[in-house]
Chain A
Amino acid sequence: MSRLVDVRSLAVEVAAGNGVRHRVVDGVSFAVDEGETLGVVGESGCGKTISTMALLRLLPDSARVVRGVVSVAGVDVLAAGEDELIRLRGGVVGMVFQDPSQALDPVRTVGAQVAEAAFLHRGVRGREALREAALLLEELGLTPPEPFLRAYPHQLSGGQKQRALLATALSGRPRLLVADELTSALDSVARAQLVELLGGLRARRGLALVAISHDLALVASIAGRVVVLYAGETVETGPARDVFAEPLHPYTVALLAAAPRAAGPTGPLPSIPGIVPRPSEWPSGCRFAPRCARAFDRCRVARPALVEVRPDRSVRCFLHADDEARDG
């Protein structure tokens, strides 16, 4: 399979108000092959959104990529010119964000917004563009499509807006869809329906998918592979099913245990003490050590590397690096 996205050792700095620059992403690596699904998981403040914004150079002016490689469909994104970026944005990679109310233009009809990307990226216009938009809305479950084409965003429910937004992202016929907390604003049933819809879309279009979420269980139900981020770096990667069944990094273990499950026991939930440290407060050793129940002396002084501990499983943790050293 050919590689669609390659992000390696990405580091991003953001200027704080007082002129100080903080590193908010430092050591994020992930790759997506054509047609593959990747889940990016972590708590708020782990660098999930910044990392994916860097994919299309959509970072705010205050942020700057200071290190690393970002390659999309063979294009070096960090060095690409404006024309090339416009082609990538929507044409190769479609993005949908958490809050559809903010992502849709409130004063234009859904039809006009869906048809726009088809025109920009494929030169389809007029009646033909609207006909395509209608088919797309129908595929996304907005049926019959005609009233939805004519509707303004405020006339739609949350779930309908999310589907309309998906249609705008898909109308440029991208090869990769990036969905940032796509289902967080929806109720649990609408969430399940959207997950199913995404699965169908992917299968029919051979679309690659990057799903970003704080919910590891949700991601595992969509994605083939997962990357777990913590405090600006990748701490674990592997096939979603394996990571879900047997998490290696103590953070991944804690993240899974912390989520309430319908089938789980009642009563108090295990929890992760403390919060994700701010970038200015990252500890010098392992960044998870202050919250980690299994941390030992070395974790507090040395920073572990991301090590492939078994085929297709990488983890940034001395517990497992030591296993490797002993076994090898």
Chain B
Amino acid sequence: MGERGGMPVLEARGVVRRYPRRGLTIGDGPGSVVAVNGVSLALADGEVLGIIGRSGAGKSTLGRILAGLERPDEGEVLFAGERLSALRGEAYRRARRRVQIVFQDPAAALNPRHSIERIVAEPIVVNGLVRGREARGERVAELLAAVGLQATTGLLGRRPGELSGGERQRVAIARALACEPRVLVLDEPVSLLDVSVQGRLLNLLLDLRACFSLAMVLITHDLAVAARVAERIVVMHAGRTVEEGRVAEVMRAPRSPYTLELLEAASLAG
């Protein structure tokens, strides 16, 4: 928040999430895994915050908690200053609708048996956002256009399996936008895509942010991706935040060895 001032749109305060250990991982002890271990962060309205870290750092768990898909064992998530855990009924549903999440693998996130039209229209119907069949159809076309897809009858009737990976991810984003969110949590949105498609999708995110005045949480292991889109980054390791700051400053003078490691890995690739 800091520089933007005002009340953060989304905030985590001392969030902890534990999972019981399951199966036998090599070098395992008994007890539970602390996936997120006391994380606090704040997202200003319209801000893009990158959460970076290696696999297993707790990024995705934090993302799920921020989006309200999981409840923290300790700590609080606040949307527009209100504690999610204190909200009930319609107020809770409204707050949840305003924070949407887009996952890494759109093939797994979209129902393979539903048409693209149904996938994008469903949240509009469920939340009662646009009434009337015709108006809803227009809204679906508008959302698809916003993510760079043309709502031709051909596309509307297709199933996710008939689209390319990049197109599927665009549909997943259109579905998230259908809820009229103020915050989009993006969990590794480009890591499964071809390099050439990654760039276009990142550009789309920048455009969407401007058009819809969205705040975004971009979760990625790739510092290069975060550097391209985010203004501020939080570096996570073993469930904790180990560094936080403006992207350019963190990249110029990383203070944590874990940040340095990510920076070196990113510069090796280019």
Contacts and interface: CB of A to CB of B under 8 A. Distances in A.
Q: Are A and B genuine complex partners?
A: yes
Interface of A: 43-44, 147-148, 151, 154-160, 184, 186-192, 195, 214-218, 221, 254-255, 258-264, 266-272, 275
B225 A43 contact: no
6 contacts: A157-B55, A158-B55, A262-B263, A266-B227, A267-B206, A270-B199
Contacts of A184: 192
B198 A189 contact: no
A264 B270 CA distance: 9
Interface string B199-233: 11011001000000000000001111101110000
B138 interface: no
B265 A269 contact: no
A80 to B, nearest CB: 33
A195 B266 CA distance: 13
A263 B267 contact: yes
B56 A255 contact: no
Nearest to A148: B26
B23 A263 contact: no
Contact of B23 (A44, A155, A186, A268): A155
A44 B165 contact: yes
B251 interface: yes
Nearest to B165: A44
B196 A262 contact: no
Given A187-B55, A189-B54, A191-B265, 11 more contacts: A44-B165, A155-B25, A157-B25, A188-B265, A221-B269, A259-B196, A259-B199, A260-B202, A263-B267, A264-B224, A275-B164
Interface in B1-33: 23-27
Contact of B222 (A157, A188, A268, A271): A188
Interface string B243-270: 0000100010000000001111111111
B268 A192 contact: yes
Contacts of B269: 188, 191-192, 215, 217-218, 221, 261
Contact of A255 (B192, B195, B228): B195
B196 A151 contact: no
Contacts of A254: 196
Contact of A262 (B197, B199, B206, B266): B266
Contacts of A188: 54, 221-223, 262, 265-266, 269
B194 interface: yes
Contacts of B194: 43-44, 214
B54 A187 contact: yes
A262 B248 CA distance: 10
A47 to B, nearest CB: 14
B224 A43 contact: no
B189 interface: no
Given A155-B26, A217-B269, A262 B195 contact: no
A268 B196 contact: no
Contact of A266 (B198, B247, B266, B268): B247
Closest 8 CB pairs of A and B: A269-B199, A262-B266, A187-B221, A261-B270, A188-B265, A192-B265, A258-B199, A217-B270
A272 B197 CA distance: 8
Given A188-B269, A262-B263, A154 B23 contact: yes
A260 B26 contact: no
B225 to A, nearest CB: 5
Contacts of B206: 267-268
Contacts of A264: 224, 227-228, 270
Contacts of B263: 262
B68 interface: no
B166 interface: yes
A259 B222 contact: no
B224 A262 contact: yes
Contacts of B251: 262
Contacts of B247: 266
Contacts of A151: 26
A43 B197 contact: yes
A258 B223 contact: no
Interface in B67-124: none
Contacts of A195: 268
Nearest to A183: B269
Contact of B227 (A192, A260, A268): A260
Nearest to B57: A187
A266 B199 CA distance: 12
A268 B164 CA distance: 22
Contacts of A192: 264-265, 268-269
